[in-house]
Amino acid sequence: MMWLRKSLVRIGKDRRVINLEFDKSIIKNFQYSDTPDFGSVQVPIVLKSLHSEGKPKGNITIGPNGDYKISSFNSTLHYGQSIFEGLKAYKMENGKFKIFRLKDAARRFRRSAQIMGMSALDEDFFIDCVKSYVESCSELELTSKEHSLYLRPLLYANDSIIKVRASSEYQFVIMGSIVGSYFSGGKVGAKVYCNRQFVRAFPHGTGEAKTAANYAISLPALKHATSLGFEQVLYLDALKKENVEELGGMNFFMIKNGTLVTPKLSGTILHGITRDTILELAKHLDIPTEVRDINYKEIIEPSENQSIFACGTAATIVPIIELGFQESLEGQLKRIEYPVDPLAIKLREHLVDCHYNKSPLSDKWLS
């Protein structure tokens, strides 16, 4: 039967209604592969809301996922005004979903919009919409404890005009995907490639925004890396090409002589929520930390007690077990093997405890 009910969301001092218009059975009876490729499993409902000047224009609905018409004149297709977030909801022992660090995602979504010249959404509105979407997915059955509900809020320009300008209307969408491991190596580790010739973000640009443009510019490097047998690309700073910044979709950590080290935020690195969580976990666990520049020579000529890992909402914590390095596309490929550090595994276990309300830190991060 069609599930018709309403949910309220906040927009400043005002309240707006979300119309829930879908057959509840499409959630209850939804099935998927036991080993889903990351991002391939489409939850069959989606939230949609058209916005102008940061406020909803017309109905806010959660309804069946499907094919949506978009004009070939849509300005996003031509000029790239598009941002998104990535966050996860985890199923607790009582069968209910809890969302990890939702407020931080709302704050970053708003910041990304500002960087891209878009009308920023009210943070309370974003939070309420995500909660309503997750509540609508409450009867999803996850087939493994390793699986979670990955949430992808998206905001893109909706004007149908081929003229360079900020859009006057934006489409806000929330979609979901049931996910497992991000890397093909699962929990064992990942192989990562670094080349001084490839650049991802420039100072005073869009580096810290979660925008489609930043991922598009990384694809040629990723294509080259995968042709060499690697799974991701590690980028250096754009100006001197000396300091480690981040991977194409993840932040970077190094463990050196028991100290946790990560590059400082400089405007070209995404303000990773998992990165921040790991730094707080390290403080809680009395693990020494350093936030500083990491010269690339420090990772291609590692000391004896050194390891590296990647982190992010999608990947959680994944040890990097091999680093490939080239000075240029014509240069000799150097392969450096890295151990899986017990400290990285310990941090991942504590991070997972935070996700599932089993940590003293869970209360302030789960909603």
Kindly report the backbone phi and psi dihedral angles of residue 300, in degrees, each rounded to the nearest multiple of 5, phi listed first: -90, -10
Q: Which CATH superfamily is domain 190-364 in?
A: D-amino Acid Aminotransferase, subunit A, domain 2 (3.20.10.10)
- Residue among 151, 152, 173, 169 nearest 160 (CA): 169
Radius of gyration of the chain (CA): 21
Q: What is the DSSP string of 100-117?
A: BSHHHHHHHHHHHHHHTT
The pLDDT tens digits of the residues spanning 312-321 come to 999 899 999 9
* SS3 state of residue 16: strand
Report how far residue 204's alpha carbon sits from residue 136's, in angstroms, rounded to the nearest whole number. Answer: 40
Those residues whose C-beta lies under 8 Å from the C-beta of residue 322, and which sit 6 or more positions away, are: 189, 191, 192, 230, 335, 336, 337, 338
Q: What percent of the chain has pLDDT over 90?
A: 87
Taking the CA atoms of 172, 86, 262 and 247 in sequence, report the sign of the dihedral they define: negative
Q: How high is the mean pLDDT of the chain? A: 94
Domain 2-179 has CATH 3.30.470.10: yes
Quote the pLDDT of residue 115: 97
Beta bridge partners of 319: 309
* Cβ burial, residue 367 (10 Å; 0-12/13-18/19+): middle
Quote the pLDDT of residue 1: 45
Quote the pLDDT of residue 327: 96
What residue segments make up the domains of the chain, in order of their start? 2-179, 190-364
Quote the pLDDT of residue 68: 82
Looking at residues 279-306, what average pLDDT do you find?
Answer: 97
Looking at residues 204-231, what average pLDDT do you find?
Answer: 95
Quote the pLDDT of residue 87: 97
The pLDDT tens digits of the residues spanning 133-186 come to 999 999 999 999 999 999 999 999 999 999 999 999 999 999 999 999 886 555
Those residues whose C-beta lies under 8 Å from the C-beta of residue 266, and which sit 6 or more positions away, are: 203, 237, 245
* SS3 state of residue 194: strand
Query: Is 8 a residue whose pLDDT tops 80?
Result: no
Quote the pLDDT of residue 6: 62
pTM of the model: 0.94
Those residues whose C-beta lies under 8 Å from the C-beta of residue 79, and which sit 6 or more positions away, are: 157, 164
Residue tagged 């509540």 (tokens) = 135
Query: Is 69 a residue whose pLDDT tops 90?
Result: no
The pLDDT tens digits of the residues spanning 76-119 come to 999 999 999 999 999 999 999 999 999 999 999 999 999 999 99
Query: Is 207 a residue whose pLDDT tops 60?
Result: yes
